[in-house]
Structure 1
Amino acid sequence: MGISATDISQRIVEAVLAQKLAPGARLGEQQLAMLFDCSRTIVREALTRLAARGIVTVSARRGWYLIAPSPDEVREAFEARRVIELGLIRGQPQLPPEAVTRLKQHLQQEQAALRGDDVGTRSFLLGDFHVCLAECLGNSLLADTLRDFTARTTLIAMRYQSSHDAALSCQDHVAIVAALAAGDSTRAEALMAEHLSSVQAALRLPADDDPLQQLREALAPLPTSPSVESADPAYLGALL
């Protein structure tokens, strides 16, 4: 049985969560059809679904692209995540043992990824924690919605050069699960609110009064480098 549109859209979302596809990346129908050994019709169906989910955009003349969120869209995405995730946790009774076990296993995977050098796996697991949490709280529909919003947040973090520490995200996740395991949904909700706020605060969004700030920073002159004649051997070694 060949690959389906659902399989392709899932692979694209997973690649986004692993930071393997950048915001604004072009998704050519012909290239994807060759890659997945399927028809362009199936690829177009997958991309159409992703467009409806707000992850892909299409231009009649240019083709399909991953979204490159604007500052306003960044704020909207985080507001939506707060509504969903805090609402899921609010008033939640103590989690059943099997849910706690699953969440702790996920945390162990996060911690193992942090000790390794696979940035893609680390990024995927940190984002997938929120999907896993929604599933453990018993809402698979919102888990699917959160998967899409988490993919958007990943693209946001890449575009706006997030300085948030992955280890701190994992620590936040550990604290949230501990609160839920103890039946303290009020504390878990507060911890989730702090976590989302810290992730958002780490973004380098352009100032509202300077729409050219991002371009201005990118095109600023580079710091003066030492000349080759005056450079020490260590510097020359770094260049080679």
Structure 2
Amino acid sequence: MARPPRSPALSAPADASDAPADAASRHPDAIADLIVDAILAGRLSPGQRLGEQSLADLFGVSRTLVREALGRLSARGMVEVNARRGWYVVQPSRDEARDAFTARLAIETGLVRTLAAPLDAPALARLERHVADERAAIARGDPGERSYLLGEFHVCLAECSGHALLAEILKDLTARTTLIATLYQSTHDASRSCDEHAEIVAALRAGDHARAEACVRAHIGEVADHLQDGAGRDPLDTLRSALLPAPRAAAARPRRRLFSSLLPASTEAAAAPAPAPRRPTEES
């Protein structure tokens, strides 16, 4: 399936004037693909709501077509629907994160391992151009384009290897791992990812498929390993750190009484009740 041109429309306000003018981009498949592209570029985050009417206004289509596009994305595991919340981008769990990287590892290493012959010159030139585009986006400090290109490299590799179906599968898997990296705070450096892509292409140009497979395995493993162990974090941690003072800080700073500081000291003392006289006890 031919991909429509990427559009920044999903990051813009839902205004009919921003809707893509091309009729092809208003097809449910094209709308679905633009949403996946926005996920790859980091413009849509895990759990983000996708309002049917907002998307209909944005693309200049009916809600029926939007619903059809979202239904296709749901079948691809990219969005979910909830009776109360409506449609929203998936939030992969810890187990789903592990499964997504395992699936990518199996597909991408197998793809390189089963290459019957060295890639032809146009395919190699396309991969090298893609890596050059990654470097340019990193140098410009363009996080959206950088994120998109780093993820799209793996789709490009499948296409250059002559596997159109695997390219479609990898696009969805790569988008899911982009969401995973967002959720679990991947610290894998973009420049390092780009360098690893360059190593894969260099091995393919040399016709060394075994080395290319090893590079793919190491690259995907590195990205997975750099997901911080925040997946099992207590969801109350953010609120706790914002609302509850650290014990040491609380002990060091006395709690300020409300209102009483507004009164003169003499008035406060006068307003305070006198201590009750102490009764004698048997012990005294």
| TM-score, length basis structure 2 | 0.74
Cross-structure match for 1:8: 31
Cross-structure match for 2:219: 195
Output the CA distance in 1 between the equivalents of 2:120 and 2:99.
33
Output the CA distance in 1 between the equivalents of 2:57 and 2:65.
12
Output aligned runs, 1:177-188, within 5 Å.
Answer: 177-188=201-212
Helix, strand or coil at the partner of 1:183: coil
1:129-158, Cα deviation, whole Å (9 max, x unpaired): 000000001100000000000100111111
- Contact 1:71-1:206 at 8 Å conserved across structures: no
Residue identity matched to 1:164? H
Shift of 1:36: 1.1
Output the CA distance in 2 between the equivalents of 1:218 and 1:114.
34
Helix, strand or coil at the partner of 1:220: helix
Shift of 1:216: 2.8
Pair 1:25-2:43 in alignment = no
Cross-structure match for 2:264: none
Cross-structure match for 1:99: 123
Helix, strand or coil at the partner of 2:92: coil
Output aligned runs, 1:129-140, within 5 Å.
Answer: 129-140=153-164
**Equivalent position to 1:37, from 60, 64, 70:** 60
Name stretches of at least 5 consecutive residues in structure 1 with no aligned partner.
Answer: 225-240
1:190-227, Cα deviation, whole Å (9 max, x unpaired): 111110111011112347xxx44454367436887xxx
Cross-structure match for 1:84: 107
Shift of 1:11: 1.1
Residue identity matched to 1:10? D
Cross-structure match for 2:241: 220
Computed over aligned residues only, the root mean square deviation of the Cα atoms, in angstroms, reads 1.7
Which shifted more, 82-91 or 39-48? 82-91
Cross-structure match for 2:148: 124
